[in-house]
Chains A and B, each alone.
Chain A
Amino acid sequence: MEIEVRNLHPLEIRLLRHVSLGEEITAQRLIEELDYKVGQCNQAFSWLLAKGLLVETGRRNRVFYELTDLGKEQQEKGTPVQRIFSLLEAQGPLSLPDIAFQLGLEKSEVGSAFGLLSKAGSCRMDADNKATIASGVLPAEVLVSKALFDKALQGALDESGLGEEERSYLSKNSKKRGAAGSPFKVIEREDVYYTLNEAGEAARRALELANLTGEELGAVTPAILSSGQWKSSTFRSYSLNTPPARLIPGRKNPYGSYLQWVKDKLCSLGFEEFDGPLVENEFWNGDALFMPQFHSARDIHDVYYVKNPSHAKMIEEPYLSQVAATHTNGWTTGSRGWRYEFDHEFTRRQVMRSQGTVLSAKTLPHAKIPGKYFGVARCFRYDQVDATHGADFYQTEGIVLGEDVNLKTLLGLLKMFAEEVAGAEEVKYVPGYFPFTEPSIEVHIKHPVLGWFELGGSGIFRPEVTKALGIDVPVLAWGLGIDRMALMHLGLNDLRELFTPDIESVRMRRGN
């Protein structure tokens, strides 16, 4: 296996540089010789094993002795044996209870310690039944224990490095479990032994050749820069293959970006944006568009009514009178009208805007001639919500006013939208029907990805619409179904996804 040694971690490099082929490597060794922490040893071993530079040669159980809390106390104050001996040396004969009292020891502790002292001939019981010094020499075991306690204070004692007497002492004064009453606790540990293999040796030689020591600089710090340390050191190489950590950026919503793109496109084609309130009345939502008040699309099952206030206070004049007369008998628009009695109460009833064309109608009374307008309007429909119907959704609509606009310019406009906004390859026009336009044209396009589909509806506003709102020139009206392209753009196939509240889903959305 070919190893790029420049990508090795300093912990790995230092290990490799430190050992030679055939040598036994243990964590203990790294701790002692390279000053590694236990965790660093584990990291270095696992990385090198994974890279195949190191092999495990065996495992061995090792026994250690560690001071317990009691042991630490005895190391400081001495063992009961030492303390009794010292006390008797200082104060002369004392009864066992006196000794226990003065040293703050349990009677049983004093008893067993004195037993040991008298057995070794260091002390004896005198005639008054008081303990007293006999030989004046401490038992050999006491000397051994003192040295052990001091050594153990520096760290756990490795059984393999102990002498016979030490082992003997420890075996009597230690426990594996429940060691609180003993000065030493027995710890068993498994040591793992590793050695370099051929690949490891090759890596070691490669490191030497590359002159990598593991002491190269890691993160560049202000100190490294200001001290000039970088001039005399080399920088450690970082791996290009490390999986990058995830970043979560602040981002615009891709659907919003798409709508913004459409708006900018329309602006570039000379269209001025319009907007309006979400709550409309029947007058603007339908009457002004010459939809008869009994039209089926104005049914309670098609439009959302506002509960309260259910009606607008008033409708602007002279538009109300003109529209009402147009419905009834055509007014002066040249139409015969729908021939019914216009309902002035119904016209004030408030609804949630159900079509973007409302805004086109509202723009007419103050529109410039020539003029081009558009809006991306949130609309509301009484529809069962599913993959192709939302409770509310955007419609993109607009108008073109001019003395000279006509069917052919309408077709030209649709062609321009098809090519510029939808990227269509082919365009087909089909007669359509909308209550407010005559003629009405649907434009179907062949999209490079979606194939043939209906891009939008359009037409020339009926004079019943325009004249009643004070406009005497022809007005082209159009609407584009851009949601389908938006879905394609976002790689989605469900309209509900456009307004999803799911943060992760929006975060990951790219847009094409």
Chain B
Amino acid sequence: MPKIEVQEQFFYDLIGRTCSDAQLEEILPVAKAELDGHDLAARVLKIELNDTNRPDLWSAAGIARQLNSYATGEVPLYDFFSTEEETFDHEGRTLIVHESASQVRPYSIGFALTGRKVDENILLNLIQSQEKICNNFGRKRKTIALGVYRSDLITYPVHFEGADPDTAHFVPLHMEEDLTLREICAKHPKGLEYGPIVADKPVFPFLYDDNGEVLSFPPVINSAHIGAVEVGDENLFFEFSGTGLDDLLLSAAIMACDCADMGFTILPVKCMFPYDTPYGREITVPYYFQNPIACELSFVQRMLGQKLSAEEVVASLRKMGVFSLVDSGMVYVTVPEFRNDFLHPVDIMEDVMIGYGLANFAPELPNDSTVGRITVEEAFARKVKDLMVGLGYQEMMYNYLGSKREYIDNMHVDGSRYIQIANPMSENYEYVRPSILPSLLESESVSGHATYPHHIFEVGKVAFLDDEDNSGTTTRNYLGFLSASSEMGFNQLNSLISTLFYFIGAEYTMEELVDPRFIEGRSGRLISKGRPVGIFGEVHPAVLESWGCSMPTIACEVDLDLVRS
């Protein structure tokens, strides 16, 4: 979930009033946001945003916009968006995408702005928006990279191309050396971090102006000259490059609306592509690309369980900053410029719900009568647990992930049928538990201080490889039990198994077992209905030694799914 920091006063100015933390907590849910903290010394509010599909909310201006609509019922108006029908004058500002870009990053768009000086708060907010859009929405710059430049220094048209990484060069931000794009990938911290996005491409993205002055190497690093925006700058150029045009247009719309809200004048830029896009080969940005969406009023009423009138629906949507009208039982929604999260009529319905206010819906109990029941596996597990408790055993519950040391080395087995994690976070959680025995022995290894005898068991899941299954694995419900005591041996174990199976109601026989986990001649395999269903025995001293245990130990494990059926 994205988290942002906003400067207290800057935020209060945007919403036109001062709020206590309690008031903020009250109103933030409208934006699916929560107050995550308030640094009173730095006068900074920390806000967490829960809707990963609403990047327009990931800034002070974005949250303020939503809160303002909710408070006033006004849909915000932005008059700088070109549409399919109407194109604003770009006044000579153009961005030309070259054919070569298609080999690495097919789209680049931009817009410019002017009208007020960048102050410290604005700079902080621009940097934060850039980071949230690139990292959270743009998947760590993979699909969206956003750069801000000093447009005073730019001579239009700006060019975006796929350049030869070994000849294209410039001085990157925070460095003094003139480096090729490939050298930047190897030497610059941002190159090391983001270079891999394009490293395997024949050409690298390259943004420069008509004089050949370099703006940046997207998605890696700006130039040290045009790309170094500072407090006091008044004219900026925003460029967005990436793999999906809609995401870029949405990002540009969000940034443009945010900047307009902060008092800037947005200046359109004509973006020209050498190939067809859904919106033509020339797009003047900011561009309104969203399609209207509609649904039946009755659908909204049915899903919400409340007969809202047409007026109530329209008013609720206005509070969400969404313009709509209802005609002949249909709700027609104009999607706001800064949003692209209306996939289905249910998305309209949810905005109506939030706008109307959740507190205004009275909870009702579902009146369908259904029969509750636990699974047969659970019912059987309970029976087995009761038996084990009656036999004097303490139920344990364990984690299902463990290390090679625990599951393989200490057990003296080869682990060839065990499920391994491909991307373990640490070697402590590298394997899925194939057996309850290592879990029980881990208990022994850490419980030398616990009064003996130890009688412990678990009924739980294990999983291991199984070619028969579609997944190549199987998950099974097992019973495992263990006793560590100077008085427990093979004969007591035999009695326990006999008692257990009598009450489970399963016939069984035993056959000899050679297994490194047990002492040979004091272990066996349990057979029921011709199938192996378990193993038991005196735990081998070598295994006990590996676990650092010095008390004689017996153990048994039974596949409850096989015994039950």
By a beta-carbon cutoff of 8 Å, the part of chain A in contact with chain B is: 246, 248-253, 255-256, 260, 263-264, 266-281, 294-296, 300, 304-310, 312-314, 330, 333-340, 350, 352, 368, 370-372, 378, 380, 382-385, 390-392, 400, 402, 404-409, 411-416, 429-433, 435, 438-441, 460, 462-464, 474, 476, 498-499, 501-504, 506-507
Contact with A along B211-250 (1 / 0, CB 8 A): 0000000000000000000000000000000001010000
Give Cα A441–Cα B393 distance, bound, in whole angstroms.
43
Choose, from B103-111, B113-121, B174-182, B423-431, the stretch at the interface. B423-431
Choose, from B3-11, B94-102, B370-378, B521-529, the stretch at the interface. B370-378
Contact B364 A433 (CB under 8 A): no
Instruction: Select one of B51, B368, B372, B443 contacting A501, CB under 8 A.
Output: B443
- B139 contacts partner chain A, Cβ-Cβ < 8 Å: yes
Contact A408 B306 (CB under 8 A): yes
Give Cα A378–Cα B29 distance, bound, in whole angstroms.
30
Give Cα A392–Cα B422 distance, bound, in whole angstroms.
16
Give Cα A413–Cα B439 distance, bound, in whole angstroms.
38
Contact B432 A279 (CB under 8 A): yes
Contact B394 A305 (CB under 8 A): no
Contact B350 A430 (CB under 8 A): no
Give Cα A305–Cα B370 distance, bound, in whole angstroms.
37
- In the complex, how many angstroms separate the beta carbon of B280 from the nearest chain A beta carbon? 18
Give Cα A498–Cα B367 distance, bound, in whole angstroms.
36
Given the interface contacts A309-B473, A474-B303, does A409 sit within 8 Å of B136 by beta carbon?
no
Give Cα A416–Cα B365 distance, bound, in whole angstroms.
8
Enumerate 8 A-B pairs (CB-CB under 8 Å) in ascending A order. A278-B461, A281-B471, A305-B422, A306-B421, A308-B465, A385-B429, A407-B305, A501-B447
- B32 contacts partner chain A, Cβ-Cβ < 8 Å: yes
Give Cα A383–Cα B455 distance, bound, in whole angstroms.
33
Q: Which 5 A-B pairs have the closest CB atoms?
A: A406-B305, A370-B368, A408-B305, A267-B372, A309-B472
Number of chain B interface residues as a range: 35 or more
Contacts of A462 in B (CB 8 A): 344, 346
Instruction: Select one of B353, B397, B446 contacting A407, CB under 8 A.
Output: B353
- In the complex, how many angstroms separate the beta carbon of B472 from the nearest chain A beta carbon? 4
- B389 contacts partner chain A, Cβ-Cβ < 8 Å: yes
Contact B372 A256 (CB under 8 A): no
User: Which residue on A lies nearest to B306, using beta carbons?
Assistant: A408
Given the interface contacts A402-B366, A462-B344, does A430 sit within 8 Å of B52 by beta carbon?
no
Contact A330 B353 (CB under 8 A): no
Contacts of B454 in A (CB 8 A): 503
Contact A415 B363 (CB under 8 A): yes
- In the complex, how many angstroms separate the beta carbon of B391 from the nearest chain A beta carbon? 6
Give Cα A242–Cα B488 distance, bound, in whole angstroms.
31
Contacts of B474 in A (CB 8 A): 277
Instruction: Select one of B358, B361, B363, B401 contacting A391, CB under 8 A.
Output: B401
Given the interface contacts A300-B423, A433-B51, A435-B52, does A463 sit within 8 Å of B344 by beta carbon?
yes
User: Which residue on A lies nearest to B387, using beta carbons?
Assistant: A250
Contact A378 B371 (CB under 8 A): no
Contact A429 B305 (CB under 8 A): no
Instruction: Select one of A256, A383, A501 contacting B395, CB under 8 A.
Output: A256
Instruction: Select one of A253, A263, A392 contacting B399, CB under 8 A.
Output: A392
Known: A408-B304, A413-B365, A431-B358. 11 other contacts (CB 8 A): A250-B394, A253-B397, A274-B375, A278-B463, A334-B345, A371-B370, A402-B368, A405-B368, A415-B363, A433-B50, A504-B451
Instruction: Select one of B343, B391, B392, B399 contacting A330, CB under 8 A.
Output: B343
Contacts of B358 in A (CB 8 A): 411, 429-431, 441
Contact B456 A503 (CB under 8 A): yes
Contact A272 B354 (CB under 8 A): no
Contact B397 A312 (CB under 8 A): no
Contact B370 A250 (CB under 8 A): no
- In the complex, how many angstroms separate the beta carbon of B416 from the nearest chain A beta carbon? 11
Contact B423 A252 (CB under 8 A): no
Contact B447 A504 (CB under 8 A): yes
Contact A431 B370 (CB under 8 A): no
Give Cα A274–Cα B424 distance, bound, in whole angstroms.
28
Give Cα A501–Cα B449 distance, bound, in whole angstroms.
13
Contact A432 B50 (CB under 8 A): yes
- B67 contacts partner chain A, Cβ-Cβ < 8 Å: no
- In the complex, how many angstroms separate the beta carbon of A497 from the nearest chain B beta carbon? 11
Give Cα A253–Cα B395 distance, bound, in whole angstroms.
5
Give Cα A260–Cα B385 distance, bound, in whole angstroms.
12
Contact with A along B49-82 (1 / 0, CB 8 A): 0111110000000000000000000000000000
Instruction: Select one of A337, A385, A503 contacting B394, CB under 8 A.
Output: A503
Given the interface contacts A407-B353, A499-B399, does A305 sit within 8 Å of B423 by beta carbon?
yes
Contacts of B32 in A (CB 8 A): 431-433
User: Which residue on A lies nearest to B295, using beta carbons?
Assistant: A334
- B323 contacts partner chain A, Cβ-Cβ < 8 Å: no
- B347 contacts partner chain A, Cβ-Cβ < 8 Å: yes
Contact A270 B372 (CB under 8 A): yes
Contacts of A413 in B (CB 8 A): 365-366
Give Cα A506–Cα B306 distance, bound, in whole angstroms.
50
User: Which residue on A lies nearest to B31, using beta carbons?
Assistant: A431
Contact A407 B303 (CB under 8 A): yes
Contacts of B451 in A (CB 8 A): 246, 248, 504
Give Cα A382–Cα B401 distance, bound, in whole angstroms.
12
Contacts of B306 in A (CB 8 A): 407-408
- In the complex, how many angstroms separate the beta carbon of B240 from the nearest chain A beta carbon? 17
User: Which residue on A lies nearest to B1, using beta carbons?
Assistant: A433
Give Cα A378–Cα B462 distance, bound, in whole angstroms.
11
Contact A335 B378 (CB under 8 A): no
- In the complex, how many angstroms separate the beta carbon of B312 from the nearest chain A beta carbon? 14
User: Which residue on B lies nearest to A504, using beta carbons?
Assistant: B450
Contacts of A267 in B (CB 8 A): 372-374
Contact B368 A352 (CB under 8 A): no
Contacts of B374 in A (CB 8 A): 263-264, 267, 273
Contact B303 A460 (CB under 8 A): yes
Instruction: Select one of A249, A260, A275, A507 contacting B450, CB under 8 A.
Output: A507
Contact B363 A408 (CB under 8 A): yes
Give Cα A269–Cα B443 distance, bound, in whole angstroms.
37
- In the complex, how many angstroms separate the beta carbon of A434 from the nearest chain B beta carbon? 9
- In the complex, how many angstroms separate the beta carbon of A229 from the nearest chain B beta carbon? 34
Contacts of B470 in A (CB 8 A): 312-314
Give Cα A380–Cα B465 distance, bound, in whole angstroms.
18
Contact B363 A414 (CB under 8 A): yes
Give Cα A370–Cα B370 distance, bound, in whole angstroms.
7
Contact A312 B471 (CB under 8 A): yes
- In the complex, how many angstroms separate the beta carbon of A335 from the nearest chain B beta carbon? 4
Contact B447 A503 (CB under 8 A): yes
Contacts of A270 in B (CB 8 A): 369-372
Given the interface contacts A273-B375, A313-B470, does A382 sit within 8 Å of B423 by beta carbon?
yes
Contacts of B475 in A (CB 8 A): 276-279
Contact B421 A430 (CB under 8 A): no
Give Cα A264–Cα B382 distance, bound, in whole angstroms.
12
- B442 contacts partner chain A, Cβ-Cβ < 8 Å: yes
- In the complex, how many angstroms separate the beta carbon of A105 from the nearest chain B beta carbon? 53
Contact A330 B344 (CB under 8 A): yes
Give Cα A335–Cα B344 distance, bound, in whole angstroms.
4
- B390 contacts partner chain A, Cβ-Cβ < 8 Å: yes
Instruction: Select one of A274, A380, A408 contacting B361, CB under 8 A.
Output: A408
Contact A310 B365 (CB under 8 A): no
Contacts of A404 in B (CB 8 A): 366-368
Contact B53 A433 (CB under 8 A): yes
Contacts of A253 in B (CB 8 A): 394-397
Instruction: Select one of A276, A296, A371 contacting B52, CB under 8 A.
Output: A296
Instruction: Select one of A339, A352, A411, A415 contacting B246, CB under 8 A.
Output: A339
User: Which residue on B lies nearest to A249, using beta carbons?
Assistant: B392
Among B359, B364, B419, max chain A CB count under 10 A is at B364
Give Cα A277–Cα B400 distance, bound, in whole angstroms.
12
Among A350, A430, A438, A460, max chain B CB count under 10 A is at A438
Instruction: Select one of A250, A306, A308, A435 contacting B393, CB under 8 A.
Output: A250
Instruction: Select one of A273, A499, A502 contacting B446, CB under 8 A.
Output: A502
User: Which residue on B lies nearest to A375, using beta carbons?
Assistant: B375
